[in-house]
Structures are given as C-alpha cells and as structure tokens.
Amino acid sequence: LKDFGFDAEKHAVPAQEVKDYGLESITNLIVRRKYGAGLTVALNAHGDVVPPGEGWSHDPYGGEIDNGAIYGRATAVSKSDFASFTFALRALEAIARPAKGSVELHFTYDEEFGGLLGPGWLLKNGLTKPDLMIAAGFSYEVVTAHNGCLQMEVTVHGKMAHAAIPSTGVDALQGAVKILNALYAQNMLYQQVTSKVEGITHPYLNVGRIEGGTNTNVVPGKVVFKLDRRMIPEENPVEVEANIRKVIADAAAELTGITVEIKRLLLANSMQPLPGNKPLVDAIRKHGQELFGEPIKAMGTPLYTDVRLYGEAGIPGVIYGAGPRTVLESHAKRNDERLQLEDLRGATKVIARTLADLLA
C-alpha cells in the first residue's frame, strides 16, 4: 500500500480484548483518501483465513497461476478484493480524479470469527463512519441480504469407566450421539421454512467439529462438539437459540447420568437491505453488465459476512468483488481455491466506475 502512495493507519486491538476473544493478535488497517466534501465510501475486505487443509494440486500459499486462474488460500475469499479495491482506488485517482467525497479501505482481520474485533471494533470505537460501503464478494451478483449464524459449543458429560466394566460408567459418546441425531433431525424441519430472499433457501444446521474420550479401552466421560446454525433473514435469533437449547436438553434428558453444558460462541445477525443502498446497487449492476456482458442480479447469499456490522451501525452496504458465480466454483474453504484473473480485472473496473459515479 505504501508503495502505491497510500498511508495505512494501523489500529491494533488491545491484547486483552483479543485474548478474551480467543485469538492472539489483531491489527486492522484503514486507508483514507479525501478529495473534498461529500460522501465517504468504504471498501472492506478481510485478511484472516481458514487453514488450507489437504488435497491441493497447487501450493496453497504460492499464488500460482495456471490456465488463467490464480490458486491459493483466500484467492477468492477475500484477499482478491485487497487487490480489486486497491487497484480500483488507484484507477479512480488516475482517471476520474474526483474533486469531492472520500474513499476508505478497511482491511480487517476478524471475519472468520465473526468480525466483532474487525469492522465491529473500528465502528464501536468511532474510528470510521462511512456513508456507504462495499464488502468483498463475487463478480456476477451484488448481494443485498445474507443469512445469520449461530455457533455453539456443546459439552456432554458422562462418567469414565474401564471398558471391561462399562456399566460402572456413563458413556458421554452415546449421549452425544443421541443429541446429534436430534439436532440433525431438525434439518428435515428446516426445509419447510423458506426465505423470500432470492439466493437464500432455508435454515440448516451443521456440526463441524467433535472430540472426546481418552483411549479405546475407556468409556468416554466427556465429548465436545461445535455446531453452526444458519438463520434466514426472516428468523428471530433469540427464538432460534432457545429452540436449539431445548432440542439438546430434551435429548440429553432421555439418558440417565448425562448432563450438558452449552456455550454460545457466535451470534451473527442476518443482513437486511437498508433503503440507502440503491445508489450502490444501481451503479454496480450497470457497470457489471457493461463489463461482463450479462445482467448482474441483486440477491441474497446463505453466507454471513461483516457487512451486517455496518448495517447495524446504520451504514447501507452491499457485497461485491472479484470472484466466480458461486462459492462452489471458487473452492473457498476447500482445496484448490482459485480465482479467474479476468474476473479480478473485471470486478476491479466495476468498482472503480462505481466509485466514480458515487463521487461525481
């Protein structure tokens, strides 16, 4: 950024806040470019990523280019938009040369854990208050609404015993299986609850991690699992959490000696469109169609993102950036995540032209 003439302010979240949050360190960046009085438009992308996992055909941190695509963890979500947003800003200043308004780059590092110490922290501490914002996304749609997310950690307690005399213990794994079956059964019910937002279907629940037991010859005394419940925009998060807790408690009550602890890890609200987002939506759709040669839909996504935090602060925002038509195509959070360079170039131009329109 400095090589491009952009001064990035470093905003380090206090160490104790980060530690209490379960992380090691977070430093968020803001680049401010002021051209005169008028609107401030923020562009937000996150630099924190999930581990690469296995099965890659390219170095997950190599940025290798193969057949017109760049491969690597976060090439699509969302370090691609560090590039698209930065170069869109450079193009804006080199060609449009706005005389009013401002643009800010918000490069933050807490999206994967919910964003509260990323954009949430910047907004809470009064370090920024843009009028409009665009967050990292994909090239063929502009997202105006998204799902919410509830993540919980469930600890199932039993009583350890020697496997030769299992009747002297209480099998926490059997308790966990009972609870998991009850939770997974909810997915059948969720299919009957549909969203009116295009791009969003129905709620669903996933258990992404489970661990427990001490050895193969020991009746497990404790099992811990973590669940992820996606909420459509029409759902009430308080009611969703209460229902999940009831399902767990009812299942556990069917087994003698089993007790549970339930801890909320994350509650990310869904994003509903704010009325002021129309200038963003209109400009992106117009320039997107010109550059990609096809209509750019305004729609929802089943993901949850940091845009909700701006929306909760009263700042209209949308999701748009460099990427393919679907998350599946991008391989995000899987092996061989990739981005077509033409999508990166096209999205960069869309954003640059959108900024020029907004600041005209």
Residue 86 has pLDDT above 90, yes or no: yes
pLDDT at 272: 86
CB under 8 Å to 338, separation ≥6 — which residues? 69, 70, 71, 72, 75, 76, 330, 331
On the question of pLDDT at 113 being above 90, the answer is no
User: What confidence tier does 247 reach under pLDDT thresholds 50, 70, 90?
Assistant: very high
pTM of the entire structure?
Answer: 0.89
Digit-coded pLDDT (tens) for 131-160:
999 999 999 999 999 999 999 999 999 999
The dihedral region occupied by 124, where left means phi > 0, alpha psi between -120 and 50, and beta the remainder, is alpha
Q: Is it true that domain 148-268 has CATH number 3.30.70.360?
A: yes
Q: What average pLDDT score do residues 159-179 get?
A: 98
Residue 275 pLDDT: 87
What does the pLDDT read at residue 273? 84
pLDDT digits (tens, 9 = 90+) for 258-307: 999 999 999 999 998 888 999 999 999 999 999 999 999 999 999 899 99
Token pair recorded at residue 58: 């390219």
For the chain, give the mean pLDDT: 96
Convert the pLDDT of each residue in 2-30 to its tens digit. Answer: 999 999 999 999 999 999 998 999 999 99
User: What is residue 268's predicted lDDT score, i.e. its pLDDT?
Assistant: 92
- Domain map of the chain by residue range? 2-146+270-358, 148-268
Mean pLDDT value of segment 204-227: 98
Per residue in 177-195, pLDDT (tens digit) is 999 999 999 999 999 999 9
Q: In what order do the strands lie in the sheet with 297-301?
A: 8-12, 27-34, 102-108, 40-46, 132-135, 317-319, 141-146, 297-301
At 307, which helix (H) or strand (E)? helix 307-312
Would you identify the CATH topology of the domain 2-146+270-358?
Answer: Aminopeptidase (3.40.630)
- 46-72 residue pLDDT tens: 999 999 999 999 999 999 999 999 999
User: pLDDT exceeding 90 applies to what percent of the chain?
Assistant: 97
Length of the chain: 360
pLDDT digits (tens, 9 = 90+) for 305-334: 999 999 999 999 999 999 999 989 999 999
CA distances for 189 relative to 185, 205, 234, angstroms: 7, 11, 16
DSSP letter for each residue of 138-177: -TTEEEEEE-EEEEEEEEEE-B-EETTSGGGSB-HHHHHH
Q: What is the largest CA-CA distance in the chain?
A: 80
